[in-house]
Amino acid sequence: MKLSKDLYLEAIVKIEKFSPAPRVLSKAVALLRNPDSDIGDIANLVKSDTALTADIIRGSNSAYYGVGERVSSLDRAVAKIGFRESLRLLNLAVAHLMAARDLGSYGFAAEDFWAESLFHGLFMERLARTTGAADPDEAHTAGLLRYIGRLAINQCIHDLGGGLFWDGSTLLEDWEMDNVGFPHTHAGARLLQAWQFTDNIVQAVEWQNEPARLTPPNWLADALEFAGTVLPAGLGVAFATQAPAEAEPAIQETEFMRRHGLTNEQVQSLIADTRTAFAQINSQLYSG
């Protein structure tokens, strides 16, 4: 029997409690906006979550942050890498914890879900820094979490008995609408709102495919739509993070590019830089 949209919406409200990590991240976003925040605030925020605490300590001791003192406490870890890097590592740690599960109903492996999320987060951060149109840290968070709605829908399907699987040929949003009653963008926004993320991020995730409908405009939503047109598509296949053997095809100029004075070469350079950063993080921060 096909379940109702209301049942799935109720299930999302329940699964928002399944991990405290995203709530920690939403509070960390607020710390970034507070000029009086310091390292002690980060330690106090993270220490309530043992999994995140372990990930921050492990990350601070990784090759990604270079050789130096090995630390065993959260306070020493955040002191070692500093305020902004601690918040950046927290961003990555939360996304990594959330993505560490297969999306069975989508046929999407955990490593590919993580790769796609990380790639979009890194690209969005660089795009914001290059254009100067948004805060790079907020853009990074929006990119990392743009597909969190897939996780929400997958978990709801599992919690309500399972049995629904995307066939890979139907348009993704059509499949979601037919079977669940709403797209992953709506599910993601609902989840992020429950986790108390900023309205700017919630709105961007919900309207990432239709940013023109927003008044006033939301740069994050515009950028997410643009990123979706130029980055590799990962759903249903291994997410392609390596540069192609031949030269990449030229990117068709878009209104977003014209508005921000971006050339084809600049966008290609941003993608190449994203690939380098992605490989560095995976090999030095999340290897082994």
Q: Please give the share of the chain, as a percent, with pLDDT higher than 90.
A: 48
Phi, psi at 103, each rounded to 5°:
-100, 85
pLDDT band at residue 16 using 50, 70 and 90 as cut-offs: low
pLDDT at 91 over 80: yes
User: At 2, is the pLDDT very low, low, confident or very high (cuts 50, 70, 90)?
Assistant: low
Position 68, amino acid:
G
DSSP string, the chain: -PPPHHHHHHHHHHHTTS-SHHHHHHHHHHHHH-TT--HHHHHHHHTT-HHHHHHHHHHHTSGGG-SS----SHHHHHHHH-HHHHHHHHHHHHHHHHT-S-BTTTTB-HHHHHHHHHHHHHHHHHHHHHH-SS-HHHHHHHHHTTTHHHHHHHHHHHHTT------SSS-HHHHHHHHTSS-HHHHHHHHHHHTT--HHHHHHHHTTT-GGG-SS--HHHHHHHHHHHHSPP-TTS----SPPSSPPPPPPP-HHHHHHT--HHHHHHHHHHHHHHHHHHHHHTS--
What is the average pLDDT value for the chain, to the nearest integer? Answer: 87
Q: What are phi and psi of 281, to 5 degrees?
A: -65, -45
- The answer as to CATH 3.40.50.300 being correct for domain 5-284 is no
Residue 261 to residue 255: CA distance in whole angstroms: 10
Question: What are the beta bridge partners of residue 145?
Answer: none
What average pLDDT score do residues 118-136 get? Answer: 96
Residue 72 has pLDDT above 90, yes or no: yes
- Pairwise CA distance, residues 120 & 152, whole Å: 18
Bridge partners of 108, per DSSP, are 103
pLDDT at 183 (0 to 100): 94
Q: How far apart are the first and last CA of the chain?
A: 43
Contact 47, 27 (CB under 8 A): no
CA distances, 192 to each of 44, 201, 206, 210 (Å): 22, 8, 10, 18
The model's pTM: 0.91
